A and B are shown apart, each in its own frame.
Chain A
Amino acid sequence: MNFFQPIGRIFLGFLGAAGRLTLFAITAISHCFRPPIYPRIILRQMVEIGYFSLPVVGLTTLFTGMVLTLQTYTGFARFSAEGAVANVVVLGMTRELAPVLAGLMVAGRIGAAMAAEIGTMRVTEQIDALTTLSTNPFKYLVAPRLIAGLTMLPLLVLVGDVIGIFGGYLVSVYKLGFNPSLYLKSTYNFLEFMDVFSGLVKAAVFGVLITLMGCYHGYHSRGGAQGVGAATTNAVVSASILILCFDYILTELFFAT
């Protein structure tokens, strides 16, 4: 009998947390559509998430594209299928690697910063102060970040796609001796709209997940600097896990039919 007690408690605790998170998400999303909206803040968040993440995402996808090409080549050379390298690289980047890696990098960069900022606002009573100044913290803090995440991540990933494929091109042409125009041609010919589109949808979902986790953990942080630190860690870890989780779910939805 007593053996089941801790299991039940953990399970109930999990359900409680999932419920709170869902409620938070619903409230936050519903506030995205109801005025007042804050264009100034949305813009600032877009710059923060989109523009300032460019170097990180660019470098990540560049090297990923390069190493993917190298690995695919050494693998495919074993059964003389070198011609398929361009195809594998373009598919791998657009469908999978650019969205997931950009998502994970942005989760580390933005999710942590958001949780820390909102968490500090919580523990220094700034969120309470917002409420007393007839401003809904969901509208003022959470909704602009969600909107910025939703719109900026796909753009980042689009840039990441191009840079990643370019990285692959560099390695193929300058190291592996592929014919440049042939490589580009097979990249282009093989690419379908759906490949890029599915990657961008994934990116949009990841953008929401990252900002949602940052806001949720920041909003519910308590207990001073230590609490804010814990909120930051939780935001990054939960966002990363959710990204990988949803990556599988979305891939299944898109391609497993």
Chain B
Amino acid sequence: MTEQQPKISLRDVHKRFGQKVVLNGVDLDVGVGESVVIIGGSGTGKSVTLKCILGLLTPEQGSVEVDGQPVIGMSARDREETNKKFGMLFQGGALFDSLPVWENVAFGLLAEKRCTRHEAKDIAIQKLAQVGLPAEVGDLSPSELSGGMQKRVGLARAIATDPEIIFFDEPTTGLDPIMADVINELIKKCVRELGATALSITHDMASARKIAHRIAMLYDGKIIWQGTPDEIDNSGNPFVEQFIHGRAEGPITMAVRK
């Protein structure tokens, strides 16, 4: 990984909203074909980090490179080209509620004109099957689905174009344990068989251990620790210890009034 150019590289990324500093110097590399999981408390800026890489938010400071190419401030056309490499599962699903489920899944394929509508529907139904949804779901509207089903449709949409880089924002939240494991396997398969680079966010430590080659912890606007899933149990970092054991007492103090 050291000799190879990283797929995604963030250097000293800063992002704030008004007075509120969210990212305060994030450094992170994701190698080609690597699966990195970001963990961290709620509201620490994990989703914001992904959006900065996708260009949905612009950092005030720092650099973001994809395949060695700086992406901040690139022209709209180059940005569009770069975005073809990405697939993203949004935390809230972000399904298009004006389109039926199968068109949601096939959206990227149709947008890139890779195939006819008929072929796209077949691929969509195949991808739906991979996330455990029957073909009939394809003709429903997203608003007719349960939360967990919407999440899985979002996942199917993210992987439908077989992108080089896939971002999963909390892929297993809101799913039952069995389905969560199916999704974990699917993410592993995308990385192993399609050679995709994955950057995921999760609160679910079991899922993180399963899908990650490397886990990075975001706290206070910085990556404070990173290592393999085996190392995380003996990280020697009090923040990480507290997080993975889910203890209320520790160096991370939640702003909760006692």
A→B interface (CB under 8 Å): 36, 117, 121, 124-126, 128-136
Contact B90 A128 (CB under 8 A): yes
The total number of A-B Cβ pairs within 8 Å is 47
Contact B94 A133 (CB under 8 A): no
Cβ of B45 to closest chain A Cβ, rounded Å? 16
A-B contact pairs, 18 of them (CB 8 A): A124-B92, A125-B90, A126-B96, A126-B97, A128-B54, A128-B56, A128-B90, A128-B94, A132-B54, A132-B86, A132-B87, A132-B88, A133-B107, A133-B108, A134-B108, A134-B111, A135-B111, A136-B80
Residues 81 to 140 of chain B near chain A (Cβ within 8 Å):
83-84, 86-88, 90, 92, 94-98, 107-108, 111-113
Q: Once the chains are docked, how many angstroms separate the CA of A132 from the CA of B113?
A: 15
Say yes or no for B7: interface residue by CB 8 A criterion.
no
Beyond A128-B94, A131-B83, A134-B80: 5 further Cβ-contacts under 8 Å?
A129-B88, A131-B54, A132-B86, A134-B112, A135-B111
B→A interface (CB under 8 Å): 51, 54-56, 76, 80, 83-84, 86-88, 90, 92, 94-98, 107-108, 111-113, 157
Contact B92 A125 (CB under 8 A): yes
Q: Once the chains are docked, how many angstroms separate the CA of A35 from the CA of B80?
A: 14
Q: Once the chains are docked, how many angstroms separate the CA of A136 from the CA of B80?
A: 8
Contact B94 A129 (CB under 8 A): yes
Contact B80 A129 (CB under 8 A): no
Contact A126 B95 (CB under 8 A): yes
Q: Once the chains are docked, how many angstroms separate the CA of A121 from the CA of B95?
A: 9
Residues of chain A contacted by B51 (CB below 8 angstroms): 128
Residues of chain B contacted by A134 (CB below 8 angstroms): 80, 83-84, 108, 111-112
Partner of A135, one of B76, B94, B95, B107: B107
Q: Once the chains are docked, how many angstroms separate the CA of A133 from the CA of B76?
A: 14
Residues of chain B contacted by A135 (CB below 8 angstroms): 107, 111
Q: Once the chains are docked, how many angstroms separate the CA of A132 from the CA of B85?
A: 9
Residues of chain A contacted by B76 (CB below 8 angstroms): 136
Given contact pairs A134-B112, A135-B111, A129 touches B84 in the complex (Cβ within 8 A): no
Residues of chain A contacted by B108 (CB below 8 angstroms): 133-134
Partner of A124, one of B56, B80, B86, B94: B94
Cβ of A16 to closest chain B Cβ, rounded Å? 17
Contact A125 B80 (CB under 8 A): no
Residue of A nearest to B57 (CB): A128
Residues of chain A contacted by B88 (CB below 8 angstroms): 129, 132
Residue of A nearest to B81 (CB): A134
Partner of A126, one of B83, B87, B94: B94
